[in-house]
Structure 1
Amino acid sequence: MADTATRTMIRTRGHRFQALFGNRPSSGTRHPLVATAMVLPLAALLVVVFGGWDAVVTQASSVGVMLGR
């Protein structure tokens, strides 16, 4: 009986979380600018921490070429 009550509480909290923060689009995609805004701070932190500016430039150029097709 207690196991069922615990599952119900967890499920209720999940529904509350979805109600607060909304659902993602059903297709599961984001706008490219939103994705870029999410990734850039982490990328900048990794560049500073690991000093990998050359690797970042190489990857960015290859992504640019891929998107330019």
Structure 2
Amino acid sequence: MTRTAPRRTVPGPRRTGRRHPLVATLMALPLAALLLLVFDGWETVAAQASSVGAMLGR
């Protein structure tokens, strides 16, 4: 009788790489609209977009 190793349950493969720019834009738009509404100014939206760009290394 041969022994087999127990099976591991591993979640699906991890995605590596970059998110599509359109998906990233669609994710950022609600926050930009909220900032525009709350703070009533494009400067805040531009500053937020700039910080997100800096975090992404662009």
Q: Normalising by the residue count of structure 1, what TM-score does the alignment of the two structures yield?
A: 0.40
Q: Normalising by the residue count of structure 2, what TM-score does the alignment of the two structures yield?
A: 0.46
Which protein shows a greater Rg? 2
Q: Which has the higher contact order (CA 8 A, sep 6+)?
A: 2
